[in-house]
A and B are shown apart, each in its own frame.
Chain A
Amino acid sequence: PYVDMILVDGITLLCNDIQVDPQDIVMVTRNVENFQLVLSWHMKAGTMCEFSKKEFIEGLQSLGIDSLEKFQEKIPYMRSELKDEQKFREIYNFAFGWAKEKGQKSLALDTAIGMWQLLFAEKQWPLVDHWCQFLQARHNKAISRDTWSQLLEFAKTVGSNLSDYDAEGAWPYLIDEFVEYLNENGVIQNGLINDSSLKR
């Protein structure tokens, strides 16, 4: 089944060729390089660390890449796409299906946390560490697609001091519990994030 596919080794080779540090690009859950995610998005790749021949070729075509030089030139552009609100959202939602195990409906918690740390490093959501900590402490189960996609909406619409949070607001229950957790632990005090409570 893996004929006609670029797998981990192939990706390492590709990285060498386009001079992106393979260490960064190698898929260790906690260290996914955003670039790879964006590339996968362009290629509509179904799974993390795998490009089929078809995905690879059509993806490069749509990016207008036909040589290594052009590939290298495109890299800064691809990184910059993450800054675009709409594209970020698409990439974010794409990431769920991309990162989850084949045949699973939900995303393993470890993978999800790795992806969030990566994505929200780009997007700047101050509560991301609290969120991940909360999930490990209280949830410790896989993440559903709905929770995944709603989290971005939550990060975007509810301010980091939770002032716009509405308990009746149809948020997934995990997010409701997160807010409860924040309040319980005094993370939000006087409308500010109290980061001393973050136990690393």
Chain B
Amino acid sequence: MVLHKFGDKLYSGLVATMTGHLKDIAQSVEAAQGGSFLEELNRKWNDHNKALQMIRDILMYMDRTYIPSTQKTPVHELGLNLWKENVIYSSQSRTRLLNTLLELVHSERTAEVIDRGIMRNITKMLMDLGPSVYGQEFETHFLQVSAEFYRVESQKFIECCDCGDYLKKAERRLNEEMERVSHYLDSRTEKKITNVVEKEMIENHMLRLIHMENSGLVHMLCDDKYEDLSRMYNLFRRVTDGLSKVREVMTSHMRESGKQLVTDPERLKDPVEYVQRLLDEKDKYDKIINLAFNNDKSFQNALNSSFEYFINLNPRSPEFISLFVDDKLRKGLKGVSEDDVEVTLDKVMMLFRYLQEKDVFEKYYKQHLAKRLLSGKTVSDDAERSLIVKLKTECGYQFTSKLEGMFTDMKTSQDTMQGFYGCHPELSDGPTLTVQVLTTGSWPTQSSVTCNLPAEMSALCEKFRSYYLGTHTGRRLSWQTNMGTADLKATFGKGQKHELNVSTYQMCVLMLFNNADRLSYKEIEQATEIPASDLKRCLQSLALVKGRNVLRKEPMGKEIVEDDAFFVNDKFSSKLYKVKIGTVVAQKESEPEKQETRQRVEEDRKPQIEAAIVRIMKSRKQLDHNNLIAEVTKQLQSRFLANPTEVKKRIESLIERDFLERDDSDRRLYRYLA
């Protein structure tokens, strides 16, 4: 017919016939009752497709020649269009189809089993009819209805569930929707429907969930609910600002609980416990971030900034951290494997990194290290050195050079002592003197009040002095009697023999009793010239500590006063042959000592600040006030947090000493004077 120029007739005939046929089909589909509606539709659709295929094959010639030349719709597409117009858009079926589909989805959501096959076929039909048909006839409505469904459902859940349960439900819904899409919806719908669920179930209730009493985020953090936290993380990351809200709340919780920890007066009593708590806290959150938050960098940063914030709230943190290390290196690491030592030290380094006042830590560390080395209390040289190496990597050579100097002194002293006794073989009978020669400057500065040593000891000291100065000309030796220790052999009233491990001061006091039975406080003070505060502490530990009271005091009493008199305690007994008599020392610094250390730290900072200012100004030549302060702070922050007022004072001092000047016209501008 096309060849005979009847193409037009053929085409319009096809349209008319097909339209008529489809109208019949529409009617029979409409007539289908209830559940069979979709089945009927599906069957007819399959028929139609087959028929359409055949028609296209038959009319292939027209399809190829007539239709392109007259720009009419090709046969197959025509068939689909006619189907769409007559069957799908038929006034009766149109809404019915939509409602049926939505009802089925709803049934499935309320846990009924539905025929997913037919659903898939029907949605496939809609997709075949064109993406816009799928969108208009189904998807838009589907999303709307879903939104409504989840709005209601989430409202119901949030009223009756705790946060953990709610999240579980939300997670399940989300998975169901994804599964639904994979079974019978267009894959492009997935993003849209999950967005709906996310918005309705999570975003709209985000804050309420996080802050939910007794089950919200803080509760989960406190109780280490890794699963719930992980769920929260995975759900909240889907919505805008979700994670940042979680992070915010977690940060403020960490800060708040950390602040309580570091400011709790109870905690301040035991520095080791204090630091242990900090470490536990750190472990706890590390684990949460690792297990539940996917090691999220932003959470790690929040953790770090929180710790940095609260550790520095307590000005004693540097001291305590050093005390913790001291404790570990004195006794805590016995029987612990080398790897565990490393782990502990690494953790301490973490805390160290948070400190703003690293120089304060250094001060204390030096003090504590000095005590450890001099009293021979350090358990492991390897651990000591390992920590120094860590500090060095963290803060540079300058930070640890003095600490290393201390180790060198110890080593050198050993050699010196060998040399000394090598030169004086006659000394092997009498008392033994062990001298540690400390380089001034490397060790914590000490007030060098030398007390009066017993005659036999001071003679020995003189011998050593001449030996040492004989081999090292040009040096000066002064005795630090406040830092030494001594081992004494003592025999008590009933012949009990003991070896007493005491400090040099205590040794001086005890030796006096070789020649006297009774000594008054005044007499002791005169004979030894030990500074009063030290003497009192020393007598306290000799006379008042149970089980260590080798001296007896009259009158009895808990304090040492100037009118006291002392006797050898003949009734002294101890199960052990060796008795170690500690000095009553405050492990923590007392208030005045703390002030003094603080002041020393401040003094030490001055030249560092000035050096930084000069360095900066030398390279910049001129710089305004605020930028200078900022740069100085930045340069120094690896050591300490420079106080702007102090920086200002240093600037003024440099102006006065003609290193800098103010610009004549802009008083905020400083110039470097070469």
Please list the residues of chain A having a beta carbon within 8 angstroms of any beta carbon in chain B: 105-106, 144-147, 150, 153, 168-170, 172-173, 176
Contacts and interface: CB of A to CB of B under 8 A. Distances in A.
Nearest to B645: A173
Pairs of residues from A and B, 5 with the lowest C-beta to C-beta distance, nearest first: A170-B625, A170-B668, A173-B648, A146-B655, A144-B656
Contact of A176 (B624, B625, B626, B645): B645
B426 to A, nearest CB: 61
Contact of B667 (A105, A150, A168): A150
Contacts of B667: 150, 153, 170
Interface in B632-674: 645, 648-649, 652, 655-656, 662, 667-668
Contact of B668 (A106, A147, A169, A176): A169
Contact of A168 (B626, B655, B656): B626
Contacts of A170: 624-626, 667-668
Nearest to A157: B667
Q: Which of B645, B656, B667, B668 has the most CB of A within 10 A?
A: B667
B341 to A, nearest CB: 47
A168 B644 CA distance: 9
Contacts of B626: 168, 170
A129 to B, nearest CB: 24
Contacts of A153: 667
A169 B652 CA distance: 14
Contacts of A173: 645, 648-649, 652
B668 A145 contact: no
Given A150-B667, A170-B667, A145 B656 contact: yes
Contacts of B645: 173, 176
A199 B377 CA distance: 60
B522 to A, nearest CB: 41
30 contacts: A105-B656, A106-B656, A144-B652, A144-B655, A144-B656, A145-B655, A145-B656, A146-B652, A146-B655, A146-B656, A146-B662, A147-B652, A150-B662, A150-B667, A153-B667, A168-B625, A168-B626, A169-B625, A169-B668, A170-B624, A170-B625, A170-B667, A170-B668, A172-B648, A172-B652, A173-B648, A173-B649, A173-B652, A176-B645, A176-B648
Nearest to A177: B645
A153 B668 CA distance: 11
A144 B312 CA distance: 35
A169 B625 CA distance: 8
A147 B649 CA distance: 11
Nearest to A146: B655
B125 to A, nearest CB: 72
A188 to B, nearest CB: 21
Contacts of B656: 105-106, 144-146
Nearest to A154: B667
Contacts of A106: 656
Nearest to A149: B662
Contacts of B662: 146, 150
A164 to B, nearest CB: 14
A119 to B, nearest CB: 19
A105 B649 CA distance: 16
Given A106-B656, A153-B667, 8 more contacts: A144-B656, A146-B652, A147-B652, A150-B667, A169-B625, A170-B667, A176-B645, A176-B648
A141 to B, nearest CB: 12
Contacts of B648: 172-173, 176
Nearest to B629: A168
A146 B664 CA distance: 12
Contacts of B652: 144, 146-147, 172-173
A145 B655 CA distance: 9
Name the residue in B624, B649, B662 with the highest tally of chain A Cβ atoms < 10 Å from its Cβ: B662
B661 to A, nearest CB: 9
B478 to A, nearest CB: 35
Interface string B593-628: 000000000000000000000000000000011100
B613 to A, nearest CB: 13
Nearest to B670: A170
Nearest to A147: B652
A30 to B, nearest CB: 26
Nearest to B624: A170
A31 B447 CA distance: 49
B666 to A, nearest CB: 9
Contacts of B655: 144-146
Contacts of B668: 169-170
A85 to B, nearest CB: 15
Nearest to B669: A170
B649 to A, nearest CB: 5
A153 B662 CA distance: 12
Contacts of B625: 168-170
B510 to A, nearest CB: 50
Contacts of A146: 652, 655-656, 662
Nearest to B646: A173
A147 B651 CA distance: 12
Scoring A144, A146, A147 by chain B CB atoms within 10 A of each residue's CB, the highest score goes to A146
A170 to B, nearest CB: 3
Contacts of B649: 173
B445 to A, nearest CB: 27
B656 to A, nearest CB: 5
A38 B468 CA distance: 69
A173 B629 CA distance: 13
Contacts of A147: 652
Interface string B324-353: 000000000000000000000000000000
A168 B625 CA distance: 8
Nearest to B667: A153
A96 B122 CA distance: 98
Nearest to B625: A170
Contacts of B624: 170
A57 to B, nearest CB: 30
A176 B645 CA distance: 9
Interface string B27-40: 00000000000000
A10 to B, nearest CB: 34
A170 B652 CA distance: 10
A174 B415 CA distance: 55
A53 B137 CA distance: 111
B390 to A, nearest CB: 37
A168 B624 CA distance: 11
- Output the residue of B626, B645, B649, B656 with the most chain A CB within 10 A: B656
Contacts of A150: 662, 667
Contacts of A145: 655-656
B665 to A, nearest CB: 11
Nearest to A106: B656
A66 B625 CA distance: 49
Nearest to B654: A146
Nearest to B660: A146
B651 to A, nearest CB: 9
A145 B649 CA distance: 14
A169 to B, nearest CB: 7
A105 B662 CA distance: 17
Contacts of A176: 645, 648
Nearest to B648: A173
Nearest to B653: A144
A142 to B, nearest CB: 10
B586 to A, nearest CB: 34
B616 to A, nearest CB: 15
Contacts of A144: 652, 655-656
**Interface-centre pick from B624, B645, B652 (highest chain A CB count, 10 A):** B652
A180 B626 CA distance: 20
